[in-house]
A and B are shown apart, each in its own frame.
Chain A
Amino acid sequence: MSTDSLAGTDDSGVAGVLDQSQAHELACDLVGEIGRIGMRAKSLARAIDLDRAGAVSSDTDLAFDVVDAVANARIRAAQLRSVVGEPRLAEARSALLLQGLQYTAESARELERQLSYTHPRRSLAAGSIAESCDRAGAVVHRLVVLRNQPAGSAAAVSGQKRVSPSAQWLVGSAARLLPATDRPRYGEEWRGELWDLAGEPRHRQLAHALRVLLQAWPTRRAILCTPGEDGDRW
């Protein structure tokens, strides 16, 4: 899952109040994403070091600083993941993680600036690392805000009390049958439909969720079906 999808800026995303399992899943994705940023930073640092043939240079030092900063951020993200169910601890650890990501982004931007004179392509790579850190920071902020939603402050919470947990589980199961890249979008879309049925009796919500689950495999075929294939069964 890219930081674009984590930040909810495209078809996947996070919306509404997060329950604990969703928050934990998001925190796990965040750790993975910061890990991937770290790999990109390492790759960039090695490339710069190779170019310099091992000679001391400020570019190389800064590049490895970015690598270390991302590694620290990943540790902090893992610490956040372990306390995502405890609001006060999560808020404290997310503040540390945000600091770390901000420092990493600033270092990456400085590297981008330095490399712009000597190696424009690597400068772009450094800039991309900085942007990814910013997006990860937006996700952290969103994770903490959504997870710590006060109990009575939004109709979403009162709505959630009326949405059957079993129905939510069924639509979640349906989304897991879809291709990985489509799960967040359809999961959110189907959860949204349940919210629209929040005023209906529980058995209607369950019936709707069951129909969604029964149609999950045909939906998967429709998503994967290339035009022209005879995949239509409805």
Chain B
Amino acid sequence: MPKESPAPRMTLPTQLVLRAFLEEPTEELYGLEVCARAQLASGTIHPILARLESVGWLVSRWEEADPHEQGRPRRRYYRLSPDGTVCARQALARATAGRNTLNTLRPGMAGGATL
């Protein structure tokens, strides 16, 4: 049973980031990869990553490669924590359910836009 952790607000960019991680929950991604998968502009996701990390849904670590050998600075890799995977799925499900309810109550609202 995952521990209760306060859920971040499920804004659209946050949902896109979580979906990017949930495509492969055990995979580690660095910042630019997350942007590419979530189809968000590069450089815009760090508040989201910081927030998700602060509530324990994401964990991060430095790349273990030697910068000299790689010829570039280290990357910071992020992945979903075990609890984070469960919480993220639940939060996305709630967000999707809420949107479906809204569409039911007010069909065609906002053009019936879906994610």
Contacts and interface: CB of A to CB of B under 8 A. Distances in A.
Interface in A39-93: none
Interface residues of B, number: 31
The secondary-structure label for the interface of chain A is: helix
A211 B73 contact: no
A225 B43 contact: no
A151 interface: no
A219 B50 contact: yes
B8 interface: yes
A189 B43 CA distance: 11
A188 interface: yes
A172 to B, nearest CB: 13
Contact of A156 (B11, B68, B76): B68
B46 interface: yes
B6 A192 contact: no
B71 A227 contact: no
A189 B76 contact: yes
Interface string B55-85: 1000000100001101111111000000000
B11 A232 contact: yes
Contacts of A215: 43-44, 46-47
Given A156-B67, A232-B51, A219 B46 contact: yes
B20 interface: no
B37 to A, nearest CB: 15
B41 A218 contact: no
A173 B43 CA distance: 14
Interface stretch (A10-18, A30-38, A95-103): A10-18
A159 B44 CA distance: 23
B32 interface: yes
Given A193-B31, A234-B13, A159 B47 contact: no
> Which of A13, A186, A219, A222 counts the most B-chain CB atoms under 10 A from its CB?
A222
Contact of B54 (A193, A212, A227): A227
B5 interface: yes
Contacts of B68: 149, 154, 156
A223 interface: yes
B11 A234 contact: yes
28 contacts: A149-B68, A154-B71, A156-B70, A189-B31, A189-B76, A191-B73, A193-B31, A193-B42, A193-B43, A195-B73, A196-B72, A197-B32, A198-B72, A208-B42, A210-B43, A211-B41, A211-B43, A215-B44, A219-B46, A223-B50, A225-B51, A225-B54, A227-B5, A227-B6, A227-B55, A232-B51, A233-B47, A234-B14
Interface of A: 11, 13, 15-16, 149, 154-156, 158-159, 185-186, 188-193, 195-198, 207-212, 214-215, 218-219, 221-223, 225, 227-228, 230-234
Given A11-B62, A15-B74, A234-B48, 8 more contacts: A154-B71, A158-B71, A193-B32, A222-B48, A222-B54, A228-B6, A232-B14, A234-B13
